[in-house]
Structure 1
Amino acid sequence: MNQVQQTANGSPFPLGATVTDNGVNFAVVAKDASQLYLCLFDQNGNEQAPLPFINKRRGIWYMEVLGLKEGQHYGLRAKGECKPEQQWLYNENKLLIDPYAKDLSAKLVWHEDQAAITKEGQPHPADSAYCVPKSIVRSVKANPNRPTRIKVAPSSRALYELHVKGFSQNLPIDEDLKGTYLGVISAVGIEHLKRLNITTIQLMPCFSFMTERHLQQLELTNYWGYNPISFFAPEPSYAKQDALVEFQQMIDGLREAGFEVILDVVYNHTAESEIDHSSVCYRGLDNAQYYRHQEGQYLNYTGCGNCVDTYNPVSIRLICDSMRYWVEVMGVDGFRFDLGVDLGRTDHDFNPKAPLLQAILQDPVLSETCLVMEPWDIGPNGYQVGQFPPGFLECNDQYRDTVRRFWRGDKGLVPEFATRLLGSRDYFHKGQKSALHSVNYITYHDGYTMKDLVSYHQRHNLANMEDNRDGHGDNISQNFGVEGETDDKAIQAQRLNQQLCFLATLLLSQGTPHILGGDELSHTQQGNNNAYCQDNDITWQNWQHRSAEETHARTAIQDTIATLMTLRKAYPILAEIRLEDDALYQHTQADKIHWLNEQSEPMTIENWADDKRHYISLTLASADLASRFWLVFYSADTLLNVPFPSENQAIEALYQTPGMSTINNELQCAYRGVFVGKL
């Protein structure tokens, strides 16, 4: 024991700051550092003399500092060589955040003095302590009275993507709750979510994040949150007072209301960005271990300036420790992984047996959670839809594009549309994966909202200050004759009908549906299809009813979601059909499916090959024949009368879009629409 410095040997595990009987144990990975220092700050923010770590084992520096208490503010400084060509960027002038810190003293804001090196590659001389948040010693425990995890049947699961601030900022609630974790679980917020009958809340990123340098220079902010600086500390700007406590309260409140909660996580890159931008955490501690690099250069497979080396044991441990923390302590029920291909890369290439993926799937805690993968990044072979191990659900952009094209009226889409309806078995192969592995969606946070998908043909992103060059150029959208908002009642009716067709298709497709929060409110981003930097009314959901037409549209959309979710929960065959040619279900009795044309006769080869076809229907029958359904999808706007399937003279209409009606044993399709009936 060193009495002068008030330190003891301590332990290399657990990593981070851990309160002990005698003080606080600190353990930090900094493999290539020649010395690591602990910097303590008093109540006035004054930095005390640095304490050198006294032990190092397997790249981990550690010691116990006696007499320290819960709430102590601290930072780290690392001494070592500054050789960018070898990925060593040590600079004692830079105060560093503990990667395992559970709480930060403030939100991180970019400043040029945070850089480890200058643009010329020389050590940056400025001390950054004044512009880097301090790590805070916190002993975070799970709520002992936390509601139990909601067990969602996979065939019933439906994801609802929710941005904490966007959802709650305009809710009719107390001002201090707007835009916060606690605002999400306000009575009016919970009531709205329950009305939709969805099962799973997918929270957009809640890790503490930073606005990128270029956005700050444009006086814009990072709104979505896909730019994390910590994999443990929750975003402070969504809290009234204590982000840790209030995040836990939000999760508990959502669980109490009956929801499963998964968290959108960014483990593929960090806010430190390009090599000369910021050195506030990982870069200053162990740049060569945390980030992918080759021949002295970063490998930027994320498009965000860096990518985490998820093939390195240091990063694998960090990510798995973070995931277990958010599950066991903070209470989430699963994760959606941003740019997930990076998580499955080895040295460079994607491999479904990559160490991080296997570490997650063998973990007794993590493997039992809901795991949703975004199956691409921008690196080599970065598109891997359908290639992840069976423990992961995967976002299916093939579904999105095909369904958009079908309802736009594109020719020759019926065969591919049918494939998407039945779970995209060209990607999620029979005998290997259930169709439920396909996360089907029409809209996501990146792109048009559903209202804009039927209102705009061109992106309108000038507010992003990039001369309208950012965001997708081809949105497979349809504006029905007018670009943007219109008072034309006929066009409004067409747009609403198209949205109902989209949602009905989504909720009647085999797989796991994903709904973008705000679509049920007819939310518009004014044609902006890349609103990541718009923290304002462009992205905040509007809860006020501005017109009778808007009230009608919202009611129709919400009723569609609630009604079809009730059907999915009651009849699992609508989400997961078990066919005799699928070896995955060889131990069960087979369900039946028949594809029918507009005469309600079996589809012929010629029918399938007809590229002018805009009609397709199918019957589904459970193995015990207790449940039999007729599903119809018609994407043209000319009158079509379809006889009921020949063996049925009576059909109970369970859901139909406005253009559909049943008359005299026929289904009358006045214009494009969806029908589902019980035989």
Structure 2
Amino acid sequence: MNLSFSKLDFLKPELGAEYIGDGTHFAVFSAHAEKVELCLFSSDGETEIARLPLPSREGDVWSGFIEGIGPGTLYGYRVYGPYDPGNGHRFNPNKLLLDPYAKQIFGELRWDDVLFGYRVGHAEADLSFDERDSAPFMVKAVVQDPEFDWEGEQAIRRPWTDTVIYEAHIRGLTMTCPGIPEQERGTFRAMAHPAIMEHLTKLGVTVVELLPVQYFLDDRHLIERGLRNYWGYQPLGYFAPARRYLSNGSIQEFKSMVKAFHAAGIEVVMDVVYNHTGEGSELGPTLSFRGFDNLSYYRQSPDGRHTYDMTGTGNTLNVAHPMVLRMVLDSLRYWVTAMHVDGFRFDLASALGREQIEFDREGGFFDAIRQDPVLAGVKLIAEPWDIGDDGYQLGGFPPPFREWNDRFRDDVRRYWRRDPGQVPCLAQRLVGSPTEFNHSGRVATSSINLVSAHDGLTLADTVSFSERHNEANGEENRDGHADNCSDNLGVEGQTGDADVLAARARRRRAILATLMLSRGVPMMLGGDELGNSQGGNNNSYCQDNEIGWVDWSANDEDFLCFCRGLIAFRLDHPLLREDGFLDSELVTWLRPDGQQMTHEDWHRMEQQAIGVHLHAGDSAEGDLIIMLNSGGDCRFSLPRSRDGWQWRHILDSVEASFEVRPADDSELIPEQSVVVFIAAPTSHAQRNK
């Protein structure tokens, strides 16, 4: 084989390594490089067999075509340029670099000081220069064959009003799941296993939101402590599936998983991390972006030497740069068009909206997304904060973005914990959080409602622990949220006390019922439906073990059945799912005596029970009354129904019952419960007596 560049008779605008039938075209971006070398490796990744300068440069894109090179070829890059950290330049051709557009990764990164562009421990720190070759310790990129049989697969594009999200971790959900072969657990193949598909379809969720599956690193400090980067929020390859989730190394496994989910009627949303990379601060390693063009890829502090950190990870990706923004958009489009995913959840999304320092909802990233014919039509979810100044932006994102609503989580937990004065806050959450979202043409489904997520206590732990218990993380229990709005109901952690266990089960059902009966888009944490506990650990980012994995053996079958019933109930009642915010003509707030809430009632600190009457208007659907009671037992006097209709009792969270029966004029609402009534035509109600 002639390992040399040859002339290509037509223009290839794509970046990355693209196999085009008789060879492969390689292209990378660097605005400040002086020379870029393509390095080819033996099939085991151990031997560098060729080092070829890319022959063409147009603008800031370096490229070349090699005839005869095809899928499976291992490669990396070395980039020459100034090593001038004081001015933001950190070129070091001794460091093998991963292609930012790599679509598959080969090998495992082995942490060593040689991976750093400077001499670790040197008196001049990052101003020093390391001349050792990092290739033996680095992963390599793999040229891909894009072909895959998608026959019969179709995008679902389910409306937000009909969406129920299930946040899941590839390993966490599958490592102990019965029925999955042990050798497949923890992989994309395991997620596509009939055991998972049957569980999720019976549960009734419509979207599985995967924690990061793009190629990511295990932090060196975690490896040295015998831990791993479990969650995956240290990305290095924005186009490549994480190798640890591939049972045989082929990215086709990811495509097969997506195809299987779509066949089951479930959409796939990816949690993506475009706010930072795993290279860390200026004291981090030189693995990819830093070596290609540190000054372009990362935001720099005013002195030019240090990376500007708005993410808490040491660096912030510079999406204000047009070529970095192009990489992000190319990555997103690739996952939609080539991998067929249905949307994205953007980690620390406020960082993506910072053109300079301030957040700008009309910034370039949002404009680019909204005008893109591929991306504008998929599901887009923002985590609406970062750690920079004015980083908390709940309600501040433009359509079509939806947003994780952490205020929903906290207000619902506080209400059921019986904190005083929480009824007005709860009312906001029940009707779609209009204070945050009812502006700029936004809709109620802009709010992604959650009561638990990967970051924080599980639902079972929310009612079992009053304090975090993160000792296993090795940070002296200082990491993770200090205030979880949780309550152990009398005993911290596990207990055999029947009364405590009953109280916990009752509150858990009430919390989940609140989630499923509120306007907005509900999201539940994978494993909550089984009663999964993490032993009070609210920051399991490094716990790739029994702490972080869902424990299928502890399945709470009664609660699982209740979850299935709640999701089905929600999907059966359009009044709960409409996009519009509820005004005074569509909703009436009720006291236990059946009268409308007064101004004084809203400000009564001891108020613990509230009813919300959802009016169906002239539609054939019946009105709904949702009665929530975080306090002691109380009686609720039902208001008059419209002429020709009668109230029927349809849901009781204490009994975990969906049994339909005619309602009495006055009904007992037990403590810590949610009870729902529906209006039905009198003749229909009579037939069901």
Band of TM-score, shorter chain: over 0.9
Distance 1:6 1:429, change over 3 A: closer
Checking the alignment, whether the CA contact within 8 Å between 2:75 and 2:141 is kept in structure 1 is yes
1:370-392 C-alpha deviation (Å, 9 max, x unpaired): 00000000011101110111110
Aligned length: 662
Aligned residue in 1 for 2:590: 596
Aligned residue in 1 for 2:612: 618
Q: Helix, strand or coil for the counterpart of 2:190?
A: helix
AA aligned to 2:107 is: A
Distance 1:591 1:448, change over 3 A: same
Q: How far apart are 1:659 and its partner, in Å?
A: 6.4
Instruction: Give the TM-score taking structure 1 as reference length.
Output: 0.94
Q: How far apart are 1:120 and its partner, in Å?
A: 4.3
1:316-354 C-alpha deviation (Å, 9 max, x unpaired): 100100001101111100000000011111011110111
In structure 1, C-alpha distance between the alignment counterparts of 2:445 and 2:83, rounded to whole Å: 49
The answer to whether structure 1 residue 222 and structure 2 residue 221 are counterparts is no
Comparing 112-121 with 525-534, which one deviates more in the overlay? 112-121
Comparing 250-259 with 140-149, which one deviates more in the overlay? 140-149
1:537-558 C-alpha deviation (Å, 9 max, x unpaired): 111111114xxxxx5xx23322
In structure 2, C-alpha distance between the alignment counterparts of 1:330 and 1:69, rounded to whole Å: 20
The answer to whether structure 1 residue 573 and structure 2 residue 612 are counterparts is no
1:127-153 C-alpha deviation (Å, 9 max, x unpaired): 100011111111223533152112312
In structure 2, C-alpha distance between the alignment counterparts of 1:529 and 1:390, rounded to whole Å: 31
Aligned residue in 2 for 1:16: 16
Aligned residue in 1 for 2:188: 181
Distance 1:391 1:663, change over 3 A: closer
Checking the alignment, whether the CA contact within 8 Å between 1:591 and 1:620 is kept in structure 2 is no
After superposition, where does 1:168-207 map in structure 2 within 5 Å? 168-172=174-178, 173-207=180-214
Checking the alignment, whether the CA contact within 8 Å between 1:108 and 1:209 is kept in structure 2 is no
Aligned match for 1:633, one of 628, 635, 659 = 628
Aligned residue in 1 for 2:155: 149
Percent of paired sites with the same residue:
37
Comparing 428-437 with 308-317, which one deviates more in the overlay? 428-437
Aligned match for 2:284, one of 277, 288, 301 = 277
In structure 2, C-alpha distance between the alignment counterparts of 1:159 and 1:317, rounded to whole Å: 29
AA aligned to 2:151 is: N
Checking the alignment, whether the CA contact within 8 Å between 1:393 and 1:439 is kept in structure 2 is yes
Checking the alignment, whether the CA contact within 8 Å between 2:613 and 2:623 is kept in structure 1 is yes
After superposition, where does 1:130-145 map in structure 2 within 5 Å? 130-145=136-151
In structure 1, C-alpha distance between the alignment counterparts of 2:199 and 2:424, rounded to whole Å: 37
1:119-178 C-alpha deviation (Å, 9 max, x unpaired): 242111221000111111112235331521123122111110010111111112211211
In structure 2, C-alpha distance between the alignment counterparts of 1:488 and 1:109, rounded to whole Å: 48
In structure 1, C-alpha distance between the alignment counterparts of 2:529 and 2:284, rounded to whole Å: 40
Aligned residue in 2 for 1:665: 665
In structure 1, C-alpha distance between the alignment counterparts of 2:18 and 2:579, rounded to whole Å: 50
1:270-320 C-alpha deviation (Å, 9 max, x unpaired): 111121221111110011111111221211000011110011111110010
Q: Which runs of 5+ in 2 are unaligned?
A: 120-124, 680-689
AA aligned to 2:25 is: N
What is the RMSD of the two structures over their aligned residues, measured on CA atoms?
A: 1.9
Q: How far apart are 1:576 and its partner, in Å?
A: 2.3
After superposition, where does 1:107-506 map in structure 2 within 5 Å? 107-118=108-119, 119-172=125-178, 173-295=180-302, 296=304, 297-430=306-439, 432-506=441-515
Checking the alignment, whether the CA contact within 8 Å between 1:40 and 1:50 is kept in structure 2 is yes
Q: How far apart are 1:22 and its partner, in Å?
A: 3.6
In structure 1, C-alpha distance between the alignment counterparts of 2:222 and 2:21, rounded to whole Å: 45
The answer to whether structure 1 residue 606 and structure 2 residue 595 are counterparts is no
Q: Helix, strand or coil for the counterpart of 1:201?
A: strand
Distance 1:110 1:623, change over 3 A: farther
Q: How far apart are 1:47 and its partner, in Å?
A: 0.5
In structure 1, C-alpha distance between the alignment counterparts of 2:477 and 2:575, rounded to whole Å: 44
In structure 2, C-alpha distance between the alignment counterparts of 1:386 and 1:143, rounded to whole Å: 41
Instruction: Give the TM-score taking structure 2 as reference length.
Output: 0.93
In structure 2, C-alpha distance between the alignment counterparts of 1:422 and 1:246, rounded to whole Å: 41
In structure 2, C-alpha distance between the alignment counterparts of 1:229 and 1:580, rounded to whole Å: 44
Q: How far apart are 1:7 and its partner, in Å?
A: 3.1
Checking the alignment, whether the CA contact within 8 Å between 2:669 and 2:675 is kept in structure 1 is no
In structure 1, C-alpha distance between the alignment counterparts of 2:117 and 2:255, rounded to whole Å: 35
AA aligned to 2:368 is: A
Checking the alignment, whether the CA contact within 8 Å between 2:5 and 2:55 is kept in structure 1 is no
Distance 1:37 1:427, change over 3 A: same
Q: Helix, strand or coil for the counterpart of 1:616?
A: strand
Distance 1:591 1:248, change over 3 A: farther
Q: How far apart are 1:48 and its partner, in Å?
A: 2.2
Q: How far apart are 1:437 and its partner, in Å?
A: 0.2
Comparing 555-564 with 615-624, which one deviates more in the overlay? 555-564
Aligned residue in 2 for 1:548: none
Q: Which runs of 5+ in 1 are unaligned?
A: 546-550, 582-589
In structure 2, C-alpha distance between the alignment counterparts of 1:481 and 1:15, rounded to whole Å: 59
Distance 1:666 1:67, change over 3 A: same
In structure 1, C-alpha distance between the alignment counterparts of 2:146 and 2:356, rounded to whole Å: 35
Q: Helix, strand or coil for the counterpart of 1:655?
A: strand
Distance 1:431 1:620, change over 3 A: farther
Aligned residue in 2 for 1:584: none
AA aligned to 1:634 is: N
Distance 1:665 1:444, change over 3 A: same
Distance 1:330 1:606, change over 3 A: same
Comparing 436-445 with 20-29, which one deviates more in the overlay? 20-29
Q: How far apart are 1:112 and its partner, in Å?
A: 2.0
Comparing 454-463 with 9-18, which one deviates more in the overlay? 9-18
1:407-446 C-alpha deviation (Å, 9 max, x unpaired): 0001111111101111111110256211100011010101
Comparing 333-342 with 643-652, which one deviates more in the overlay? 643-652
In structure 2, C-alpha distance between the alignment counterparts of 1:657 and 1:640, rounded to whole Å: 15
In structure 2, C-alpha distance between the alignment counterparts of 1:291 and 1:22, rounded to whole Å: 36
Q: Helix, strand or coil for the counterpart of 1:652?
A: strand
Q: Helix, strand or coil for the counterpart of 2:400?
A: coil
Aligned residue in 1 for 2:651: 655
In structure 1, C-alpha distance between the alignment counterparts of 2:217 and 2:591, rounded to whole Å: 54
